[in-house]
Structure 1
Amino acid sequence: MALHSALQGACVCHLTTTAAPVGAVTERNAGEWLTYFEDSRTDSNAKPPKTHLMGLPDLLKAVRNPYSARDRSNTVGIAISESELNWLLRFHEEIRNQFAHFEPMGWSIDVSGIPEIAKLVARIIGDILRTGWAFRHQDSAQREAMQRSLHALETIEWPT
């Protein structure tokens, strides 16, 4: 769950424009927010809409696009191969969603894929960090500490 949340959060930060939360919300919700921003210029009683973030599958697809960082500085998207994307989508649907939206059932938890998912998530977040936009409000010491933590997660030797 923590890996899923970290990846989702990094994607949201990467995609969000200066008109937050636009960029990381559904297309319909982005329209609602833009209308609200325009209306609020002349109507002090305008109410902001609820935020409807894209789900992780759509966020991952969006960060792969060229110029996906909302300062449009990245000419290529965040590198996530089709097989990695499919693996992360299975992780989202079959693991995360079963824990978050559980049904009464017997559980047997297979953790054998967690080290590889952790390494992949650390690499993707590291790529987002290096792109610069998502974590622009952190100072250099915070970004360096984050990079060290991600590198440690990406290169850790997990017990077998």
Structure 2
Amino acid sequence: MVNGVWYETDTPSDVLDSLVETARQLDRVKGDVAAWKWAILSMFGAVSGALVCHLSGSTQTGALATRSQTKTLAALEVRDGSAVIPDPYLASPLDLLRRSLSRRNRESPAVRICVSFRKRTAFKRLLVFRNDFTHFKPQSWSIECSGLPTIFQDVGAIICQISQDGWSFRHMTDAQRKELAAVLVEIEARLNDLADQYAKLS
């Protein structure tokens, strides 16, 4: 028996956990604008994980960086099992989005997603915010919060589309899928409330 406290997760579960945390932080935002930082980090984690789920097929290489993908596939082709599978190295977030939009060279059987220019722009803006918070430089800066609800709604629409493809979250339990659908609705409602709140202040 292994003693201790263990946290066990996987990519689909982490998407759900990240969305639950996003909803929690959006609730905090009403009284503490600094909570947007944690909402940004968790929301970007959710959409990145959803793209990984969308792209990953039976060999789990569809979301890997090109070199990592090539090395992994080569190792998998060694029939005697002597090859060492390299540590996976994920493609960049922008590459994940591009691959999900493309019909070419897909490992996953999931149908490509259709994302408008506005939603792609929202994804890129959220990525910039996430990078700035994750790699905080010796500087001060500010974010116009009134635009964040729309950015979050556009990014949430990407996750929603992926959740309906029948492939990406196939390993989730029925309970997890129901919770995923519910938390996406909850996030949308909280974003609408925040958008109304900011509109009254403008």
Give the TM-score, by structure 1 length.
0.84
1:11-160 equivalent positions in 2, closer than 5 A: 11-20=51-60, 22-39=61-78, 41-44=79-82, 46-66=83-103, 70-72=108-110, 74=111, 77-93=112-128, 95-156=129-190, 157-158=193-194, 159-160=197-198
Q: What do you get for the CA RMSD once the two structures are aligned?
A: 2.0
How far did 1:145 drift? 1.6
Question: Which has more radius of gyration?
Answer: 2
Is the deviation greater in 63-72 or in 133-142?
63-72
Work out the CA distance in 2 between the residues paired with 1:143 and 1:97: 29
How far did 1:69 drift? 8.0
Is the deviation greater in 9-18 or in 150-159?
150-159
Give the match's secondary structure for 1:63.
helix
User: Does the Cα contact within 8 Å between 1:15 and 1:24 map onto a contact in 2?
Assistant: yes
| 2:109 counterpart letter in structure 1 | D
Q: Which runs of 5+ in 2 are unaligned?
A: 1-40
Output one character per residue of 1:7-59: Cα deviation in whole Å (capped at 9) or x when no partner.
Answer: 00000011001112x000122211100011123x3143x32212121111111
How far did 1:141 drift? 2.5
Give the match's secondary structure for 2:109.
coil
Work out the CA distance in 2 between the residues paired with 1:29 and 1:129: 26
| 1:13 counterpart letter in structure 2 | C
User: Does the Cα contact within 8 Å between 1:69 and 1:134 map onto a contact in 2?
Assistant: no
Percent identity of paired positions between Structure 1 and Structure 2: 33
Q: Which runs of 5+ in 1 are unaligned?
A: none
Give the TM-score, by structure 2 length.
0.68
| 1:123 counterpart letter in structure 2 | A
How far did 1:148 drift? 1.4
Aligned residues: 153
How far did 1:110 drift? 3.2
User: Does the Cα contact within 8 Å between 1:14 and 1:69 map onto a contact in 2?
Assistant: no
Give the match's secondary structure for 2:185.
helix
Output one character per residue of 1:54-79: Cα deviation in whole Å (capped at 9) or x when no partner.
Answer: 1111111111224868124x2xx212
